[in-house]
């Protein structure tokens, strides 16, 4: 049994990670400031004596007796990370410094939830880990993209300078149950719109592509990455290479929900990446033949079922 800190533990990914780590018999400290996370995501874990909730903001130092840290705290939806961009940068940069300091002091392993956004609007397709990216440093997405890039730099510098045992995973678009209905990301937006019979709004012409990974595949890969040997730091891409356009996604969700929602178009968001697809060769090689298990149709089915149930209860 290990004592594991999960920052951003009340968020979408964090709550699934806390649940899985508890299932494996570990003690879990879930730290969150509830900016985009919700107690509803982890309420079912509160009775577990090995689960502890900490209300804290990682831009402030935090000390605890822990052996591993998964650093997930950071708003991930463009709508939320652009709401207070300075805070977003502070969370990635000062939050990473605080968590790396804790890892250094406790000689703990620490994993950073980085992102495909470090590749920006990529000029190389699909994206491999050795591609340095094409990122606007002064645009609306920069607070997130550059914050996460700086966090990767800090992780690597603490590793080289202080021998901190780090892991960096670059997560590609992930979806599933426990995304907030108002999260603002494309999968939850389209499902919520379709279930409510509202218009589905596509930013741009819908030809931009993404690759959507179901939550359980990500959680498996994150835990395997944490358990790789100390000489493996990453960065490693974690995603599902099945590429679809945003228009195809909208049509698929309308079909699967049996909705009569109409598709409407609004101007493209600034610096919205035109295409994105992970090369996951490295993940397959270092994570014991890991690869995504749940395809888009199955994952959407599960997610639609979750939102139907949620709305059945709350509307
Ligand atoms: P989320 O918004 O659901 O979760 C983020 C959590 O962090 C929330 O619970 C929020 O309240 C908390 N948080 C934010 N700022 C904080 C702060 N300063 N101090 C303490 N807690 C804070 O998003 P998610 O999808 O679960 O993403 C989790 C992590 O994974 C993020 O770091 C995100 O950048 C990364 N990521 C996610 C995706 C994806 O597709 N879901 C893709 C790439 C990277
Ligand atoms: N998008 C959209 N309508 C929405 C939400 C998102 O057309 O209601 C588009 C968005 O412009 C982007 C893609 O869907 O091209 C994925 O957006 P998301 O916010 O989920 O994540 P991103 O990959 O851009 O960070």
Q: Tens digit of pLDDT for each residue in 236-288? A: 999 999 999 999 999 999 999 999 999 999 999 999 999 999 999 999 999 99
Statement: residue 315 has pLDDT above 70: no
Q: Which residues pair with 7 in a beta bridge?
A: 31, 71
Q: Are 237 and 170 in contact (CB under 8 A)?
A: yes
Please give the distance, rounded to the nearest whole angstrom, from the Cα atom of residue 273 to the centre of ligand 2. Answer: 9
Contact, 78 vs 49, CB < 8 A? Answer: no
What percent of the chain stands above pLDDT 90?
98
Closest Cα partner for 299 from 116, 174, 194? 174
Short-list 273, 272, 276, CA closest to 211: 276
Report the pLDDT value the prediction gives residue 313, as an integer from 0 to 100: 54
Residue 171 confidence (pLDDT) above 80: yes
| Ligand 2 proximity of 208 Cβ (cutoff 6 Å) | yes
Q: Are 204 and 265 in contact (CB under 8 A)?
A: yes
Question: What share of the chain has pLDDT > 70, as a percent?
Answer: 99
Are 187 and 249 within 8 A, CB to CB? yes
As beta bridge partners, residue 168 has: 112
pLDDT digits (tens, 9 = 90+) for 108-147: 999 999 999 999 999 999 999 999 999 999 999 999 999 9
Q: Spell out the domains of the chain, with CATH numbers in brackets.
A: 3-174+214-241+276-294 (3.40.50.720)
Average pLDDT across the chain, whole number: 97
| Band (27; pLDDT cuts 50, 70, 90) | very high
Which residue out of 186, 211, 276 has the highest number of ligand 2 atoms within 8 Å of its CB and is therefore the one to mutate?
Answer: 186
**What's the rounded Cα separation, in Å, for the pair 226 and 47?**
26
CA separation (Å) from 8 to 42, 56, 72, 236, 297? 11, 10, 5, 20, 28
pLDDT for res 85: 98
Tens digits of residue pLDDT in 65-116: 999 999 999 999 999 999 999 999 999 999 999 999 999 999 999 999 999 9
Residue 206 has pLDDT above 60, yes or no: yes
- Looking at all shown ligands, the one closest to residue 244's CA atom is 2
Given a contact cutoff of 8 angstroms between Cβ atoms, the answer to whether 194 and 254 are in contact is yes
Active site residues: 144
What Rg do the C-alpha atoms of the chain give, in angstroms? 19
């Amino acid at each position: 049994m290990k004592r594991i800190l999960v920052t951003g533990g009340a968020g979408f990914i964090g709550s699934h990670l806390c649940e899985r780590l508890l299932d494996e018999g570990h003690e879990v400290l879930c730290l969150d400031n509830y900016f985009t996370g919700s107690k509803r995501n982890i309420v079912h874990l509160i009775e577990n004596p090995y689960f502890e909730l900490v209300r804290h903001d990682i831009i402030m130092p935090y000390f605890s007796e822990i052996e591993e840290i998964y650093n997930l705290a950071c708003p991930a939806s463009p709508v939320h990370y652009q709401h207070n961009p300075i805070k977003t940068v502070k969370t990635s940069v000062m939050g990473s410094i605080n968590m790396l300091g804790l890892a250094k002091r406790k000689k703990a392993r620490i994993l950073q939830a980085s992102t495909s956004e470090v590749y920006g609007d990529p000029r190389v397709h699909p994206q491999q880990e050795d591609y340095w990216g094409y990122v606007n440093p002064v645009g609306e997405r920069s607070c997130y993209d550059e914050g996460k890039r700086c966090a990767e730099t800090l992780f690597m510098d603490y590793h080289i300078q202080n021998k901190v045992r780090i892991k960096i995973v670059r997560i590609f678009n992930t979806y599933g149950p426990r995304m907030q209905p108002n999260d603002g990301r494309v999968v939850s937006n389209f499902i919520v719109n379709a279930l409510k019979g509202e218009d589905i709004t596509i930013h741009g012409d819908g030809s931009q592509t993404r690759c959507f990974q179901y939550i359980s595949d990500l959680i498996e890969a994150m835990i395997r990455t944490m358990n790789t040997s100390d000489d493996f730091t990453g960065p490693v891409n974690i995603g599902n290479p099945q590429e679809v356009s945003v228009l195809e996604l909208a049509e698929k969700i309308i079909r699967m929900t049996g909705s009569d929602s109409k598709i409407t178009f609004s101007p493209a968001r600034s610096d919205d990446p035109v295409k994105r697809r992970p090369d996951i060769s490295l993940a397959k090689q270092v994570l014991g033949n890991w690869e995504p298990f749940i395809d888009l149709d199955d994952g959407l089915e599960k997610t639609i079922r979750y939102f139907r149930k949620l709305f059945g209860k709350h509307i």
